[in-house]
């Protein structure tokens, strides 16, 4: 393998330790813990796993975790009333509604009900707008985590060609905005892009956020490029495996022969998402108290 491995797991552990230090300083300064409220509607097994691991990580960082479990058939009015209570609760600095919601609930309406100052997922249109015009707000955790890994690996991104594959509101679009703000020249590719391999071959930085197992191949990559694989895809079980393997959107073995640096799946972007959620929650806490956010948070 020619590429350097970008160790998201180790980076995330360092970030979590730093957040833990600042969380303790927050308690010393304000006499209370920073708090994250997580709302889960229904019993989607993957969502239950995510919510549990977020709760554990919040506690481990020295912050308070408030879990609200609502039945799958809860009404929009019930959910919106809960969000209203959390918006008004001074012990709650961040509010996260675990997606996807059951089909009868309107995700945009629910996200819009969260106070933008507690929207630590960065999904509210006010925070998307702040990112677009260069104001400080909350940036979605996964692309912000990717950006931290890229700047740690490459330093100044000015003038670099970046290709983001995927244009979702939670990954692709904010990723493109962050790269643009860092002075990269950004192309956003998607399912209608003509000749995707040729577009990707121009890139010094490739961010794949597609949801298609091993779509990006070795011969798409410019030698030396940095490759960030956001995808999490479970393959069907093979050779008597109980569960299929987890793979990214990048064919790791062949791309690693050409790239200069690459994130693995698992152990790359995934661990960054929760670490950045902790970071965003603590940033919200300092701001909600009207205090200056520590520089290195
Ligand atoms: P999404 O909302 O489904 O968006 C996928 C994007 O990929 C869309 O813009 C789509 O284009 C594009 N696309 C689909 N097929 C394509 C193809 N063949 N060629 C080029 N573009 C194609 O997905 P998402 O929420 O952004 O997530 C993307 C992946 O990241 C998923 O595997 C997800 O599990 C993973 N993810 C990981 C984390 C983490 O913590 N590591 C967090 C979030 C998501 P159109 O817009 O034209 O449809």
Q: Which residues neighbour 288 within 8 Å (Cβ) at sequence distance 6 or greater?
A: 90, 93, 117, 118
In short, whether 191's Cβ falls inside 6 Å of ligand 1 is: yes
pLDDT tens sequence across 15-50: 999 999 999 999 999 999 999 999 999 999 999 999
* pLDDT-wise least confident of 57-66, 128-137, 141-150, 239-248: 239-248
Is the distance from CB of 171 to CB of 147 less than 8 angstroms? no
pLDDT tens sequence across 47-86: 999 999 999 999 999 999 999 999 999 999 999 999 999 9
Query: Which residue's C-alpha comes closest to atom 15 of ligand 1?
Result: 191
> Does the structure show a pLDDT above 90 at 239?
no
Residue reference for tokens 């959620």: 277
The pick from 99, 140, 144, 172 for probing ligand 1's pocket by mutation, whose C-beta has the most ligand atoms within 8 angstroms, reads 172
CA count, 13 A, side-chain hemisphere, 25: 14
What is the C-alpha separation between 125 and 148, in angstroms, rounded?
23
Measured in Å, residue 38 CA sits from the centre of ligand 1 at: 24
What is the C-alpha separation between 270 and 201, in angstroms, rounded?
25
Second-level CATH architecture of 31-116: 3-Layer(aba) Sandwich (3.40)
> Does the structure show a pLDDT above 90 at 149?
yes
Same fold, 31-116 and 141-271: yes
Tokens matching residue 154? 């490459």
Second-level CATH architecture of 141-271: 3-Layer(aba) Sandwich (3.40)
For the chain, domain boundaries: 31-116, 141-271
pLDDT reported for residue 240: 87
The pick from 57, 168, 231 for probing ligand 1's pocket by mutation, whose C-beta has the most ligand atoms within 8 angstroms, reads 168
Look over the chain and give the mean of its residue pLDDT values, rounded to a whole number: 97
Residue reference for tokens 């994250």: 36
């Amino acid at each position: 393998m020619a590429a350097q491995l970008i160790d998201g797991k180790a980076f995330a552990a360092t970030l979590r330790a730093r957040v833990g230090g600042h969380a303790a300083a927050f308690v010393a300064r304000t006499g209370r813990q920073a708090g994250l409220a997580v709302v889960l509607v229904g019993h989607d097994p993957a969502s239950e796993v995510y919510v549990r691991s977020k709760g554990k990580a919040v506690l481990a960082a020295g912050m308070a975790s408030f879990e609200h479990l609502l039945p799958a058939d809860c009404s929009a009015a019930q959910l919106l009333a809960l969000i209203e209570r959390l918006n008004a609760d001074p012990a709650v600095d961040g509010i996260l509604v675990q997606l996807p919601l059951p089909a009868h609930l309107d995700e945009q309406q629910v996200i819009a009900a969260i106070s933008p100052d507690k929207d630590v997922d960065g999904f509210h249109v006010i925070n998307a707008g702040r990112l677009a015009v260069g104001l400080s707000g909350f940036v979605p955790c996964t692309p912000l985590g990717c950006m931290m890994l890229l700047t740690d690996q490459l330093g100044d991104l000015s003038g670099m060609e970046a290709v983001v594959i995927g244009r979702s509101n939670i990954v692709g679009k904010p990723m493109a905005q962050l790269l643009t703000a860092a002075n990269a020249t950004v192309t956003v590719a998607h399912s209608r892009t003509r000749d995707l391999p040729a577009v990707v071959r121009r890139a010094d930085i490739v961010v794949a956020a597609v949801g298609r197992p091993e779509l990006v191949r070795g011969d798409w990559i410019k030698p030396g490029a940095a490759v960030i694989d956001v995808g999490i895809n479970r393959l069907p079980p093979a050779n008597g495996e109980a569960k299929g393997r987890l793979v990214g959107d990048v064919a790791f073995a062949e791309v690693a022969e050409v790239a200069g640096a690459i994130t693995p799946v698992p152990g790359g972007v995934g661990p960054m998402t929760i670490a950045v959620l902790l970071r965003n929650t603590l940033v919200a806490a300092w701001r909600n108290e009207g205090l200056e956010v520590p520089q290195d948070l």
